[in-house]
Amino acid sequence: MPNEEDTLAHPEQPRFLLGSWLWAVTLFVSFGAIVAIAFGALNRGSSFEEGRAKARAEKLKAAHEEWDKAAASYGWVDKAKGVARIPIQRAMELTLADLQAKQPTAAGPIATPTPAEAPPAPTTAQPANAPAAVPPGTPGGSPAASPTPAPKKP
């Protein structure tokens, strides 16, 4: 029968290792601090993007103001060539006045072109497996390929 001393823990091996637990907790806390610092640094990047977005919006607003000013004023595009710009509203008024001054004209009949003569038949030899050529104007020949005299104009 085992004695009472054998059933208890061995005295050279402590049951609770306080030093090991302290190291584990310290490592866990330090890992959490590193993660918190890393995520904290990521939030600073969003303010950079916000700054860039504000700068782009300001540039766009300035460009729109410049375009609106140019669209509503007179100025030279190329003075050497005599090309000037006028306000859009004035250009629409001038174009409308030009279109109203023009009288519509009736369209005439569409003239059909005279049929072109068929090109001359090639004089080269036909391959052995090619179908036999049927002269135009003969039965089985293409009526579109038959020569027709051009109508005489009075």
pLDDT score for 125: 59
| pTM: predicted TM-score of the whole model, two decimal places | 0.35
**Contacts from 8-13 at CB under 8 Å and sequence distance 24+?**
none
pLDDT score for 111: 81
pLDDT score for 80: 94
Q: Which residues of the chain have pLDDT under 50?
A: 145-146
pLDDT score for 120: 66
Angle at 78 between CA 77 and CA 81, to 5 degrees: 140
Buried residues in 71-108 as b, exposed as e (16+ CB within 10 A): eeeeeeeeeeeeeeeeeeeeeeeeeeeeeeeeeeeeee
For the chain, count helices (H), then strands (E): 3, 2
| CA 120/CA 145 separation, integer angstroms | 11
| CA 81/CA 17 separation, integer angstroms | 94
pLDDT score for 2: 55
